[in-house]
Amino acid sequence: MSAQIIEGKKISDLIREEIKRDAEALKEQGVVPGLAVVLVGEDPASKVYVGSKEKACQQLGFYSEVHRLAENTSESELLALIDKLNNQASINGILVQLPLPKHINEKAVIDAIDVNKDVDGFHPESVGNLVIGDDSLLPCTPAGVIELIKRSSGDISGKHAVVIGRSNIVGKPVAMLLLRENATVTICHSRTANMEEIAKQADILVVAIGKAKAIGSKYVKPGAVVIDVGINRLPDGKLAGDVDYEDCLETAGYITPVPGGVGPMTITMLMSNTITAAKRANKIGE
């Protein structure tokens, strides 16, 4: 039997409707959520992402600022802008688009963002709160993964989740969030000796390794939920995930396509974080 396709766009649209209602309710109280996005340089993919974020703000009725800085902007100039945005009342969320030019220290920039405006969830304090289970703004892609699982296949509690990949952006935080949902979590990576055997035990398999079609059906337990976070461009120009989608279609119970799976969720969760930060800044719903 063919797997049920987890339609990220459809789930993302549902969440955006919820966010829009929240934004309208806040507006009635005189609060407009504000997001500032900072782009340094001319990276083509980054420019596309920033444009998408700007569009999402417009659609949801948020206040939006986009700061497009030259490639040769100094680290001190960027830090001065962040300091200004930290102190700007109309801005609830700050996102500095990564990667940054090589002459700028990425960690220094992330550390400089006010943790209450850290809508990317990358600040060390946000990461620490995630690990110990305290309230924090969650990293967008991992939070999106959890929403996809919950809104398609249901309860995570008690399930065995295997995460393939240990990056700071996806692998580690998604493992922490799955743990928070009471899954039993195993993390596999490039040095894992018996990955196929471990992956095949998973009720939920999350793959984020950046290698096109690396995970086939031999890694998938029949009926498992398979979440593919990868996005890779093939030699023919087409996009493919880290999971061999066609090969896994008959084995998985639920599966995300690429594109159209996890991708649409990332910006939606960024908007969700911005509205959460706006509520907290104005002590609404506490």
Annotated catalytic residues are: 53, 97, 120
CA distance 7 to 158: 24
Residue 243 near residue 230, CB atoms below 8 Å: yes
Per residue in 120-133, is it b (16+ CB within 10 Å) or e — as a string? Answer: bbbbeebbebbeee
Residues 6+ apart with CB under 8 A from 32: 23, 26, 61, 62, 63, 90, 278
CA distance 68 to 205: 38
CA angle 272, 277, 278 (to 5 degrees): 100
CA distance 229 to 145: 8
CA distance 53 to 93: 12
**CA dist list (Å): 255 to 35, 44, 123, 233, 251:** 32, 29, 31, 20, 10
CA distance 78 to 49: 19
CA distance 223 to 203: 8
